[in-house]
Amino acid sequence: MGETGTISNLTHTARTINLSRNYVNPVVFAQPLSYNGAATATVRLDNITNNSFTVSVQEPNNEDGIHAAENLSFMVLEAGTWELADGTLLEVGTTQSSQLVAQGWETVNFDADFDHNPVVMSQIQTFNGTDFVRTRQDNITQNGFLVGMEEEEANQNSGHTNETIGYMAISGGSGNWSGLNYTAGYTGDRITDAWGTVNFGAGFTQTPQILASLASYDGADPAGIRRRSLNNNQVQFKVEEDTSADAEMAHTTENISFLAIEGSGILEAINVDSLAPFVQNSPVVAGVQTINATSSADTFILGDATEPYYDNMGIQDYALILNFDSSEDVIQLHGNASDYQLGAAPSEVPQSTGIFLNNNELVGVVAGVSDLALDADYFSFV
């Protein structure tokens, strides 16, 4: 559902970043910038396609527009509601806006059912308006948040062309995402125009990727974030204003949302949008997730290169696959065909095929199908 990596030596000259995979509805996050050049700056995205995006450094109109080479992290995520292997909930989406914050906020309501206020980041995905512009956020709750755009201070009461704003919301805490350790959280309402240090807790074994957004609206002057001194254990952030209207750049305390993830590579998750609880009369059968095939070719992922899924609750924990079409659909399993056997499904799902690990652990049921073979093309093993 995504990938993450580093962009080095980025300047005002636009650069195209080619991705490792093809996406249907990708949302890109690539901020904050390092602090090699002291002029106020932000990251602008453009030309997001299913396998690439264009990125550049943009300065306010009162600067010369020529910026020193900066470094930053990026993350590309497929839009939707997702669940990581450790149960962490993640929502990725977009909204449209032609308003600056001075004119009003856009309300984003989450589809995901977060238990607590998630960690939220946002970034403009388009380059429809050429004026310097960034996002601000406020009132983050477990149900949604407010987001808006800000141009430079001299233009903060003007308008802006309609842009697409991308956002991600992830349950806070630390975990492992496709083999990459990560920490998502907030700095607390303490970061100003002076550098403030954020510790990663136990730290990482290598320098992580770092993504961040302003999460509060304590100071009404337009502002963004810069970062420096990123290492295994910590990073420093500062809130950055501009000098388009006046020379002062002092800013009150703000809260910053951040995601630090160790290393780079492909990110995997389960698409919650395609899952629903399987009800066998009453109550809900524990641990069963129903996945409906679409009218197109589908891949049902019941395991990855690291581990099998649905393998810790016997016959009470499995993926129930409906409307499977053996002529075009594929079931992905961890390991090799010799690790599995096919057999009768539980009585709740009659006339169906169960997919068992050799320790009799049920990982999947293909509903209404009884003539499957593990060596057929509709099974793949990783």
pLDDT tens digits along 289-325: 777 777 678 889 898 888 888 887 777 778 888 888 8
Least confident span in 93-102, 224-233, 367-376: 367-376
**Side chain identity at residue 179, one-letter code:** G
Confidence band (pLDDT; 50, 70, 90) for 100? very high
| Predicted pLDDT at 40 | 98
| Predicted pLDDT at 287 | 61
Instruction: Name which residue leads in pLDDT, 379 or 296.
Output: 379
| Predicted pLDDT at 295 | 67
DSSP 60-120: -TTS-S----EEEEEEEEESEEEE-TTS-EEEEEEEEE--BGGG-PEEEE-SS--SSPPEE
CA 109 to chain CA centroid, nearest Å: 16
Least confident span in 92-106, 227-241, 286-300, 321-335: 286-300
Tell me: pLDDT of 274 over 60: no
**Which strands make up the sheet holding 256-262, listed edge to edge?**
173-177, 180-186, 256-262, 208-214
Distance between CA atoms of residues 70 and 225, nearest Å: 13
Q: For the residues 247-261, what does the mean pLDDT come to?
A: 97
Average pLDDT, the chain: 91
Tell me: pLDDT of 267 over 80: yes
pLDDT tens for each residue of 108-142: 999 999 999 999 999 999 999 999 999 999 999 99
Which three-class secondary structure string do you get for 24-54? CCEEEECCCECCCCCCCCEEEEECCCCCEEE
Are residues 230 and 209 in contact, defined by beta-carbon separation less than 8 angstroms?
no
Instruction: Name which residue leads in pLDDT, 281 or 36.
Output: 36
Confidence band (pLDDT; 50, 70, 90) for 176? very high
Distance between CA atoms of residues 309 and 382, nearest Å: 12
Are residues 364 and 288 in contact, defined by beta-carbon separation less than 8 angstroms?
no
CA 56 to chain CA centroid, nearest Å: 21
Confidence band (pLDDT; 50, 70, 90) for 1? confident
Count each helix (H run) and each strand (E run) in the chain, helices first: 0, 31
Are residues 263 and 249 in contact, defined by beta-carbon separation less than 8 angstroms?
no
Distance between CA atoms of residues 39 and 155, nearest Å: 18
Tell me: pLDDT of 201 over 90: no
How do beta strands 15-18 and 26-29 pair? Answer: unpaired
Decide: residue 325, CB within 10 A, 0-12 exposed, 13-18 middle, 19+ buried.
Answer: middle
Are residues 134 and 44 in contact, defined by beta-carbon separation less than 8 angstroms?
no
Are residues 378 and 329 in contact, defined by beta-carbon separation less than 8 angstroms?
yes
CA 27 to chain CA centroid, nearest Å: 8
Distance between CA atoms of residues 356 and 344, nearest Å: 10
Confidence band (pLDDT; 50, 70, 90) for 276? very low
Confidence band (pLDDT; 50, 70, 90) for 342? very high
pLDDT tens for each residue of 347-373: 777 788 999 999 889 999 998 888 899
Confidence band (pLDDT; 50, 70, 90) for 21? confident
Distance between CA atoms of residues 78 and 23, nearest Å: 6
Taken in order 130, 133, 134, 140, is the CA torsion positive or negative?
negative
| Predicted pLDDT at 376 | 94
Record the tokens describing residue 180, joined without a space: 């990459």
Least confident span in 58-62, 150-154, 313-317: 313-317
| Predicted pLDDT at 280 | 32
Distance between CA atoms of residues 166 and 155, nearest Å: 23
pTM: 0.74
Distance between CA atoms of residues 218 and 266, nearest Å: 36
Q: For the residues 241-249, what does the mean pLDDT come to?
A: 95
| Predicted pLDDT at 319 | 86
Triad 240, 242, 247: Cα angle to 5°:
115
Q: How far is the CA of 287 from the CAs of 4, 94, 277, 278, 313, in angstroms?
A: 30, 31, 8, 9, 8
